[in-house]
Amino acid sequence: MRFGPPADASRFASAWSDLAGVGRDPLRGGFSRHTFDDADMQLRHWFAEQAQRRGLEVENDRNGNVWAWWGAPGPGSVVTGSHLDSVPGGGAFDGPLGVVSALLAVDELRLRGVTPARPLAIACFAEEEGGRFGLPCMGSRLMTGAVDADSVRRLHDVNAVSVADAARRVGFDPSTMGPDPARLAVIGTFVELHVEQGRLLQAADASAVVGVGSEILAHGRWRITVTGQGNHAGTTRPEDRKDPMIPAAAAVFAARRAITEYEGAVATVGRINPIPGGTNVIASTVQLWLDVRHESAVTTATIVDAIVAAVRDEAAAEDCTVMVQRESMVDKVSFDAGLGLELSELLKAPVISSGAGHDAGVLSAHVPTAMLFVRNPSGVSHAPDEYADAADCLVGIDALADVLENLVR
């Protein structure tokens, strides 16, 4: 494996300790950093300060994404970066590792005496996880025009605060949200470094620290609302119950069945919301969210149909009604094959696929895009136990610096 000299471990440790206290979630463990909340704003300020310290020009785009430029934006720009937001109770690495690595890769390029012949930018994309407003990759999708800005402005969080209001509260003008073709046009290449979310790298090559991404599975989110009749848990006879939790439970089991029935599929109910949510109350309504992923978008749809059918069967027996809303869906993404091959040869790194969505997946429809994954020994992600060894992160930073050095020539 060829990597440059190790990036300064103390600079990495210091950046990491800056972030360690921001957005800690005392209830769930890990971090809850949600778009435009206090933690997110603190991270944005931290990023801007770090970028300015490095002489980069910081700007907010019209979609809540932050950019830091080395050189004036222009055609053929090389862009790297990731996101600062997290899932509720997420790990420390998903998102921030790509941002911190980008900043330290810039340091590394300077140490190597590289003078970019093309502009280089670090981007932090808003609401990558969809943790607050339910739409993953919101910032990159807005920028590329993959979603309608009006419907995004109207999305709201669990406290009924809309995207537009949340943006206004932190000084962003939501009226300018929408496609940004001029910005997109200057991006020549996008490379996102990310902690691996799974253990495919280990399976591909037990000694590999960094892998190059080839594709992202088709994936989507659906909200299923089952409505029955709220009632007393103690006094309501079995034959009088219209309990929406029963069809909701059917969704959970049908999702697990789908994993065994469809090779390569994953289906998860990770969030369920009984209303009103009392221990001694039969819920009147249950909302649940279904996450389904497979290589094929057609199979993904088939799986969702099967799960919804199971919910409807139970709902009919329980005298409940069912409403299904698709919150997001993206087809399988294949990253630029030539670029992927080039990076894998440069880094002597194996090529792996990803079951997780990323802003890189959104951008890949418009510009040559690649991803680097830093190994994650347990494979755990979207949870407090997510972990990457600091020494591996340093290897990742050098790999990113190698890649950027090659691209900015």
Cα 187–Cα 382–Cα 136 angle in degrees, nearest 5:
45
- The nearer residue to Zn ion, 63 or 82, going by C-beta atoms, is 82
Q: Which of 175, 158, 45 is nearest to 167 (CA)?
A: 175
Give the shortest CB-131-to-Zn ion separation in angstroms: 11
| Nearer residue to Zn ion within complex by CB, 94 or 392 | 94
CA 103 from centroid of its chain's CA atoms:
19
* Closest CB to Zn ion: residue number: 94
CB of 358 to Zn ion, least distance (A): 6
Q: Whole-number minimum distance, CB 249 to Zn ion, in Å? A: 30
| Closer residue to Zn ion, CB minimum distance, 95 or 368 | 95
CB 242 → Zn ion: shortest distance, Å?
Answer: 40
Contact track, Zn ion, 43-82, x by CB under 5 A: ----------------------------------------
Using CA atoms, how far residue 156 sits from 33, 99, 169, in Å, is 16, 27, 14
Rounded to whole angstroms, how far apart are CA atoms 211 and 373? Answer: 5
Please, what sign has the CA dihedral across residues 206, 197, 91, 209? Answer: positive
Nearer to Zn ion, 211 or 244 (CB): 211
CA 290 from chain centre, in angstroms, equals: 16
- Maximal C-alpha separation, the chain: 77
Residue 340 CB, nearest approach to Zn ion (Å) = 19
- Taking CB under 5 A as the rule, which mask of x and - marks residues 196-235 in contact with Zn ion? ----------------------------------------
Q: How far is the CB of 174 from Zn ion (least distance, A)?
A: 24
Q: How far is the CB of 204 from Zn ion (least distance, A)?
A: 20
Nearer to Zn ion, 88 or 95 (CB): 95
HSE, side-chain direction, 13 A CA sphere, residue 37: 20
Residue 361 found at the interface with Zn ion (CB under 5 A): no
Q: How many residues does the chain have?
A: 409
Size of the site for Zn ion (CB under 5 A): 2
Q: Rank residues 94 and 405 by Cβ distance to Zn ion and give the closer one.
A: 94
Site string for Zn ion, 84-123 (x = CB under 5 A): ----------xx----------------------------
Nearer to Zn ion, 141 or 242 (CB): 141
Nearest-approach distance from CB 86 to Zn ion, in angstroms = 8
196, 395 contact by CB (below 8 A): no
Nearer to Zn ion, 105 or 246 (CB): 105
Q: Which is nearer to Zn ion, 87 or 303 (CB)?
A: 87
Q: How far is the CB of 137 from Zn ion (least distance, A)?
A: 9
CA distance 194 to 178: 26
Instruction: State in angstroms the smallest separation of the CB of 401 from Zn ion.
Output: 20
Q: Which of 201, 197, 218 is nearest to 94 (CA)?
A: 197
Nearer to Zn ion, 91 or 230 (CB): 91
How big is the CA angle at 250 (ends 245 and 256), to the nearest 5 degrees? 130
Paired residues of 122 in beta bridges = 68, 80
Interface contacts to Zn ion, rule CB under 5 A: 94-95
